[in-house]
Amino acid sequence: MTATPRHDAVMPAEVLSLLMPGRGGLFVDCTVGLGGHSALLLDAGADRLLGLDRDTDALRLAAERLSMFGDRVELVHSDYRQLGQVLETRSVVGVNGVLADLGVSSMQLDADGRGFTFRRDEPLDMRMDRSQGPTLADLLVDVHEEDLANVIFQFGEERHSRRIARAIVRRRESGRIASTGELSALVRRAVPTRGYQRIDPATRTFQALRIWVNKELEGLDTFLTNTSRRLIAGARLAVISFHSLEDRIVKHTFRAIAAAGEAWQVLTRKPVLAGDEEVARNPRARSAKLRAIERLA
């Protein structure tokens, strides 16, 4: 029997404090993952929970974890950016709270064969939804060198992006780059290093390519704006991001929503961060930033 992957819901107390599920009603977990936050919301008073995820493996495991809540839970295979359509097909006009925990999950990083990590040599996939779209190996076959360098620089903030892109394009002349081990070795050789390195030289490139494959930043601002309009009066939208590009979009979009009228207010002038005790227990929480907005009327 395969053990259920370990997953710690990030900033659980802070999420509950901001979303206030004790008021009851329908809550949406846009990135249900293994169901950690969803279980917390239901335990704390949410009457019903609608959970979305584009990873079918995550949905299967979340269904097991949340089975104790019976028909209070509905799980849907969908990208969070399709939330509007999901609600419309269920004739849901407004919701009492929404959570979006963005980025790759611990389960995806830890699972064999997904290609998210350079710590194992496995097929170069990186798709969160393996039912559709090209793999990273597919995309690397014919991407233009300049476009690839821009992806690595923009999404990974990697200053050696042009050297890395050049190395990848030269290597593919002799055949398809098919594994994480091969790609990470290419990147490490392309990045000049001196002495101790705090992070692996492949880290930023792998982050950038994952964001590119999954189009993680595309439509995030539109999703936030449209979702804020789905909130009933007094309801809140909370977002957890894990890198600066996501957090920047969330911050500026929330400010724009609040500035557009008196119906919304930003609840987090600065992002909420995980405490030292949580970071010691769950190192992934170190980079997490939590922001929230409330609909007033």
Is-contact 97 228, C-beta < 8 A? Answer: no
1 pLDDT more than 50: no
- Element containing residue 97 per DSSP (H, E): strand 95-101
50 pLDDT more than 90: yes
What is the average pLDDT score of the chain? 93
Q: Which tens digit of pLDDT belongs to each residue from 100-128?
A: 999 776 666 667 788 888 888 999 999 99
How sure is the predictor about 171, in pLDDT bands with cuts at 50, 70 and 90?
very high
Q: Which tens digit of pLDDT belongs to each residue from 252-281?
A: 999 999 999 889 999 999 999 999 999 999
How sure is the predictor about 144, in pLDDT bands with cuts at 50, 70 and 90?
very high
Q: How far apart are CA 132 and CA 130, in angstroms?
A: 6
Fold of the CATH domain 112-214: DNA polymerase; domain 1 (1.10.150)
What is the pLDDT averaged over residues 8-30? 96
Is-contact 54 79, C-beta < 8 A? Answer: yes
What is the pLDDT averaged over residues 59-85? 96
Strand, coil or helix: what is 174? Answer: coil
- Cα dihedral 229, 56, 133, 158 in deg (nearest 10): 80
* Identity of the amino acid at 16: L
Pairing of strands 289-295, 231-241: antiparallel
Q: How far apart are CA 57 and CA 60, in angstroms?
A: 5
Laid out side by side, the sheet with 26-29 consists of 73-77, 48-53, 26-29, 95-101, 231-241, 289-295, 264-266
Look up residue 106 and give its two tokens: 């611990």
Instruction: Locate CATH 1.10.150.170 in the chain.
Output: 112-214
How sure is the predictor about 3, in pLDDT bands with cuts at 50, 70 and 90?
very low
* Identity of the amino acid at 48: R
Q: How far apart are CA 56 and CA 68, in angstroms?
A: 20
Would you give the distance in Å from CA 83 to the centre of its chain? 15
Return the closest-CA partner of residue 150 out of 212, 243, 216, 218. 212
Q: How far apart are CA 220 and CA 233, in angstroms?
A: 23
* Identity of the amino acid at 162: R
- pLDDT of 195 reads 65
248 pLDDT more than 80: yes
- pLDDT of 8 reads 76
Q: DSSP label at 31?
A: T
Q: For a pLDDT cut of 90, what percent of the chain falls above it?
A: 83
Selecting from 3.40.50.1100, 3.40.50.150, 3.90.180.10, 3.40.1670.10, what CATH number does the domain 12-103+217-295 have?
3.40.50.150
- pLDDT of 196 reads 66
How sure is the predictor about 296, in pLDDT bands with cuts at 50, 70 and 90?
very high
Q: How far apart are CA 282 and CA 161, in angstroms?
A: 30
Q: DSSP label at 143?
A: -
Return the closest-CA partner of residue 186 out of 166, 168, 199. 168
| Beta-ladder partners of 240 | 101, 290
What is the pLDDT averaged over residues 210-222? 95
Instruction: Locate CATH 3.40.50.150 in the chain.
Output: 12-103+217-295
What is the pLDDT averaged over residues 135-149? 97
Number of other residues whose CB lies within 10 A of the CB of residue 121: 14
Is-contact 5 110, C-beta < 8 A? Answer: yes
- pLDDT of 203 reads 93
Between 284 and 164, residue with greater pLDDT = 164
